[in-house]
Chains A and B, each alone.
Chain A
Amino acid sequence: MSDRTRLIGWAGLLALLAIAPVFITSGRWIDFLEITLFVAVLGQGWNILGGYGGQYSFGHAVFFGTGAYIQALFQFKFGWSPWITMWFAVSLTALVASFVGYLSFRYGLRGSYFALITLAFAEALHVLSRSFDSITEGGRGVQLALNQDPGLAIATFQFNFAGPFLKAYGFYYTIFIILILAYGVTWWMERSRFGAQLVAVRENEEAAQALGINAFRVKMGAICLSAAISASAGVYYVQKYLFIEPGIAYGPAKSVEALFAPIIGGLGTVLGPLLGSFFIHGVGEITKEMIGHVFGDRPGVDLIMFGVILVLVLAFLPRGLVGLLETLWKRITGGRDA
Chain B
Amino acid sequence: MLEVRNLSKSFGGLRAVSNASLSVAEGKITSLIGPNGAGKTTMFALISGFLKPDEGSVTFKGEDITAQQPHSICQHGLVRTFQVVQPFANLSVRENIAVGAHTRIAKRAKALEKASEVAAMVGMEGMLDQSAGALTIAGRKRLELARALATEPSLLLLDEVMAGLNATEIHEIVDVVRSIRDAGVTIFLIEHVMQAVMSLSDYTYVLNYGAMIAEGEPRDVTRSPEVIEAYLGHGAAERIAAMEAKADA
Contacts and interface: CB of A to CB of B under 8 A. Distances in A.
A208 interface: yes
Interface stretch (A21-29, A90-98, A174-182, A193-201): A193-201
A148 interface: no
A210 B99 contact: no
Interface stretch (A211-219, A271-279, A291-299): A211-219
B103 A214 contact: no
A210 B88 contact: no
Nearest to A213: B71
A212 B71 contact: yes
5 contacts: A207-B86, A210-B86, A212-B71, A212-B151, A214-B69
B102 A210 contact: no
Contact of B99 (A191, A192, A197, A214): A197
B108 A210 contact: no
A338 interface: yes
A212 B98 contact: no
Interface in B60-99: 69-72, 74-75, 79-82, 86-91, 95, 98-99
A222 B118 CA distance: 29
B48 A196 contact: no
Contacts of B105: 193
Contacts of A200: 88, 91, 99
A206 interface: yes
A212 B95 contact: no
Interface size class of A (residues with CB under 8 A): 20 to 34
A200 B102 CA distance: 11
A134 interface: no
A109 to B, nearest CB: 18
Interface in B172-219: none
A81 interface: no
Q: 4 nearest interchain CB pairs?
A: A212-B103, A212-B74, A203-B88, A207-B86
A199 B70 CA distance: 18
A210 B80 contact: yes
B148 interface: yes
B108 A211 contact: no
Contacts of B50: 206, 209-210
A210 B87 CA distance: 12
A207 B144 CA distance: 9
Interface size class of B (residues with CB under 8 A): 20 to 34
* Majority secondary structure, A binding face: helix
Contact of A211 (B69, B91, B95, B147): B147
B108 A196 contact: yes
A250 B222 CA distance: 67
B80 A212 contact: no
Contacts of B34: none
A5 interface: no
B182 to A, nearest CB: 23
B145 interface: no
Contacts of A208: 88, 99
Contacts of B147: 207, 211
A199 B88 contact: yes
Contacts of A213: 71, 99, 102-103
Given A191-B108, A192-B108, A209-B70, A203 B91 contact: yes
B238 interface: no
Given A204-B88, A338-B129, A209 B75 contact: no
Interface string B123-155: 000000100000000000000000110110000
